[in-house]
Chains A and B, each alone.
Chain A
């Protein structure tokens, strides 16, 4: 008779669970897994303000302060 082997998922400690930058509610709903193709597309957009816009904002703030 073969000895019994551990086939269940390995236990991980609380510290091993990565929660940084993860929305646990979203994770629980498995949205990122189920819609990975759509989310990959969404990641293609990277909206960044132009440098001159930020510079002019900072100038306005300096005038106000």
Chain B
């Protein structure tokens, strides 16, 4: 039955004092939020910090009465995550210590895989690594649309709202991203199987 409770209903209950309701919201949306942040940031430790900061900020805003429901709680959370990521890159730019392409890191050590078969596991890891690299080679605006659509599960309307562009621009960026990724797939011979 709990699955049928809307996000807004959970927020209202949380405001009235039912702490567990916010925990339900976290469990409901954590994967999308984490996928967006970790694919965008790529530094595992930093992604985890921003993931936690996002939900802490959500709580602050909810408590301060800043959330008004329009049925799009998740896209509001994504906007908060998006702003935190932008703040992070702004800070880096101000510090002028790290360039954008200098945050290569391997985050596979934290991933759990269901298969027992070691070979399958290795193949899967290799494909995932290739796909992550493929995404990371995209220009920022294209990468963001891909992550928001395919990993955060937002609609193009929501993506357009978050990134402050028109739906047509968001669609155009997605098309270019897909064309670019296909080109990378062919160049690097990336496929779902390894020769």
Contacts and interface: CB of A to CB of B under 8 A. Distances in A.
A19 B175 CA distance: 22
Size range of the chain B interface in the assembly: 35 or more
Question: Which label, helix, strand, loop or mixed, suits the secondary structure of the A interface?
Answer: helix
A41 B131 contact: yes
A29 B175 contact: yes
Interface string A17-43: 000000101100101001101111111
A10 B137 CA distance: 44
A4 B55 CA distance: 63
Interface string B124-159: 100110111011000000000010011100011100
Contact of B192 (A44, A47, A62, A65): A44
A49 B30 contact: yes
Contacts, number: 106
A60 B49 CA distance: 12
Nearest to A48: B31
Contacts of B52: 53, 56-57, 60
Interface in B23-38: 23, 26-27, 30-31, 34-35, 38
Interface in B156-188: 156-157, 167, 171, 174-175, 178, 181-182, 185
Interface of A: 23, 25-26, 29, 31, 34-35, 37-50, 53-54, 56-58, 60-62, 64-65
